[in-house]
A = this chain, B = another copy of it.
């Protein structure tokens, strides 16, 4: 790479010291107007750009935040990244993205990568595989601010930003009941994830509210298209198949619709389905999917804002109190119910 123009080049050409150049460039009062303009003009002429790396070293901060995320290709996560990048951009931060690909091992390596890259703070949504959280604890021990979003864990002393999973699930199931469903299945996420638990309990409580008994056999673990399609196939061929479905995400919900239609059932007449996410695909499926909007973009924004807040107040971090921000969800009613 071509050597970039440095403050030293300007100093040499002007017969001044680097200190003077540095001060002139940032309008330090000690510098006479004459030399100040001279310096600025030459700097502009030469196309001088301060070397961020040198500043990073001196200031012991990089204006960079690390993002550890399961998979970029998932619509919900890409919406989140969008929100994060938006806030980072406005605050002159850069974002380094690390994908865990839902792999615990890779996630551990990712945490090491953010450490060696000396990012100022980290945003994390951990992988499905992750049960041991000591790699995140190590970040916290290093006093690097960490904000968890979507997939969170209470055991760590860190901020959290999540969608209101309980409320969303409650809304969804309540809606199904109001549409006349009495037997409602839930396609759930793994129960070691908070989102899995919360959505299940929203489902549970909505049933309770309408005095519908909870039936464990109607709760199945299925949070991908393929597993959901398979599970839907099995459950829909039972003689007493449920007429309502609440899926933990849109892909699973769409799989249910596909399979129901495949089995000759009409949606929403015979079977009603609600998803969770409000992805692009929800509006595309036939019939269009009723779903819970998770506001991924806002969630990403909030997470990033919370992180930046921590970064500003870093000096006075006497007694750390983790915050938990809950983003309200919204039921988007379409024609699948």
Contact = CB atoms under 8 A, between A and B. Distances in A.
Given A94-B96, A97-B95, A286-B285, A118 B51 contact: yes
B1 A143 contact: yes
A117 B98 contact: no
A115 B82 contact: no
A178 interface: no
Interface in A222-244: none
Given A142-B4, A144-B1, A99 B82 contact: yes
A76 to B, nearest CB: 10
Given A118-B51, A142-B1, A73 B78 contact: yes
A286 B260 CA distance: 14
Nearest to A60: B1
The A contact surface, by secondary structure, is mixed
A81 interface: yes
A106 B2 CA distance: 25
Nearest to A86: B99
A75 B73 contact: yes
Interface string A50-93: 11111011001110100000011101001101100110010000
A44 interface: no
Given A1-B314, A97-B97, A118 B53 contact: yes
Nearest to A51: B118
A290 to B, nearest CB: 15
A321 B107 CA distance: 38
Nearest to A79: B73
A214 to B, nearest CB: 31
A116 interface: yes
A115 B4 CA distance: 10
A89 B78 contact: no
13 contacts: A1-B143, A4-B118, A49-B115, A50-B116, A52-B118, A73-B75, A73-B78, A73-B82, A75-B280, A95-B96, A96-B97, A281-B281, A281-B284
